[in-house]
């Protein structure tokens, strides 16, 4: 009887050990299982190996699911002969992620869009597609507007709201019916004690705080400013002045460092931007007062 009890105890112990090992293996497997990623291409979306003109729309869908844990990160890289550039990334904390993204064909002959998702356990998965430049496509025409004078928030004589596609400037009294056309708004403040003439857009929260009427607009356009190119003076005034097609506008805009707000838009700064409607442009700050009752004078080149 005693031996039988000992044998049963040993069997129970071995079974428990085996169960623990199996559970450990299962947990390890669960922790290392990568997410699921599906790209939606073709039809209304861009097709793999599509031939596109420069600045044509690159539109695709994404479906991703976390398996071992929630999704925490998503990014889009573009790989070409010029290297690899991250053109979009975002953090998240969700089990599934569904989205549609719009980007634009660049200048390189061949570009591969690499989409990557990562989960909480740092498991990643990527998928990609490639687009080619139409060799018959060239650079497009631009519109050029100079001496555009916009007033800051406490200036009551100059308009605050700019349509960069036409050069039209509106104030609170004249903007009615044109809200959908406004892409650029200016204001002035001190950023950590430093004077900051600032470019924003209707969708940006500071614009709505400085100009409360904007919060009630039915359409609030989201313009993206390439602050990195501005901060580091990567485009010279001579380059801006010599530009007579959209080649520089396309090449200058770096989507890695963009925001709906561009601080320190000081005199002489040149700022690439992208409108909500997909038009790329360059803003040259001809003059920028450093008081909230002053004005900012702009010169703009934008794709037609």
pLDDT of residue 18: 58
Does the pLDDT at position 32 exceed 60? yes
pTM: 0.77
CA 2 centroid distance within chain: 74
H or E element, residue 25 = helix 2-32
pLDDT bucket at 11, cuts 50 / 70 / 90: low
For 191-233, write each residue's pLDDT tens digit: 999 999 999 999 999 999 999 999 999 999 999 999 999 999 9
CATH number of 36-133: 2.60.40.1930
Measured CA to CA, the distance from residue 34 to residue 29 in angstroms comes to: 10
Sequence-distant (6+) residues with CB within 8 A of 135 are 109
How many other C-beta atoms can be found within 10 angstroms of the C-beta atom of residue 176? 10
Measured CA to CA, the distance from residue 168 to residue 160 in angstroms comes to: 11
* pLDDT (mean) for 273-283: 97
pLDDT bucket at 15, cuts 50 / 70 / 90: low
For 50-67, write each residue's pLDDT tens digit: 999 998 999 999 999 999
Rounded to whole angstroms, the maximal C-alpha distance in the chain is 104
pLDDT of residue 65: 98
CA 261 centroid distance within chain: 12
pLDDT of residue 138: 86
Instruction: Report helix, strand or coil for 269.
Output: coil
Does the pLDDT at position 157 exceed 80? yes
pLDDT of residue 4: 59
Domain ranges of the chain: 36-133, 142-303
Contact 53, 104 (CB under 8 A): no
What average pLDDT does the chain have? 93
CA 247 centroid distance within chain: 20
pLDDT of residue 30: 73
pLDDT of residue 3: 56
Does the pLDDT at position 8 exceed 70? no
* pLDDT (mean) for 300-304: 98
For 66-117, write each residue's pLDDT tens digit: 999 999 999 999 999 989 999 999 999 999 999 999 999 989 999 999 999 9
Contact 167, 183 (CB under 8 A): no
Per the model's pLDDT, the better-predicted residue between 3 and 303 turns out to be 303
pLDDT of residue 1: 52
CA distances from 198 to 14, 105, 155, 232, 247 (A): 71, 29, 14, 16, 26
* E strand residue ranges, the chain: 36-40, 50-52, 57-65, 71-80, 83-94, 96-104, 110-119, 124-133, 142-151, 161-163, 168-170, 184-191, 194-200, 224-226, 258-259, 270-274, 280-288, 295-303
* pLDDT (mean) for 250-277: 96
């Amino acid at each position: 009887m005693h031996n039988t009890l000992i044998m049963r105890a040993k069997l129970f112990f071995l079974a428990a050990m085996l169960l623990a090992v199996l559970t450990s293996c299962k947990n390890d497997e669960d922790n290392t299982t990568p997410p699921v990623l599906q790209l939606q291409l073709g039809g209304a979306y861009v097709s793999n190996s599509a031939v596109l003109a420069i600045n044509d729309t690159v539109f695709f869908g994404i479906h991703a699911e976390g398996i071992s844990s929630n999704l925490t990160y998503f990014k889009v890289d573009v790989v070409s002969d010029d290297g690899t550039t991250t053109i979009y990334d975002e953090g998240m904390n969700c089990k599934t992620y569904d989205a549609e993204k719009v980007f634009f064909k660049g200048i390189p002959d061949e570009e591969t869009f690499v989409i990557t998702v990562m989960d909480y356990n740092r498991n990643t998965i990527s998928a990609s597609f490639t687009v080619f430049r139409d060799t018959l496509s060239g650079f497009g025409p631009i519109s050029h507007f100079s001496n555009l004078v916009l007033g800051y928030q406490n200036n009551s004589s100059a308009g605050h709201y700019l349509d960069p596609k036409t050069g039209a400037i509106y104030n609170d009294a004249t903007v009615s019916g044109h809200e959908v056309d406004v892409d650029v708004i200016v204001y002035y403040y001190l950023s950590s004690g430093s004077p900051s003439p600032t470019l924003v857009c209707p969708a940006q929260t500071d614009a709505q705080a400085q100009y409360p009427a904007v919060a009630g607009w039915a359409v609030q356009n989201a313009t993206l400013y390439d602050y990195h190119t501005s901060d580091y003076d990567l485009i010279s005034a001579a380059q801006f002045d010599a530009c007579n097609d959209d080649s520089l506008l396309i090449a200058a805009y770096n989507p890695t460092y963009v925001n709906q707000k561009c601080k320190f838009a000081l005199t002489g700064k040149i700022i690439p931007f992208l409108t909500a409607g997909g038009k790329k442009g360059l803003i040259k700050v001809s003059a920028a007062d450093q008081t909230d009752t002053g004005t900012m004078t702009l010169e703009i080149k934008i794709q037609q």
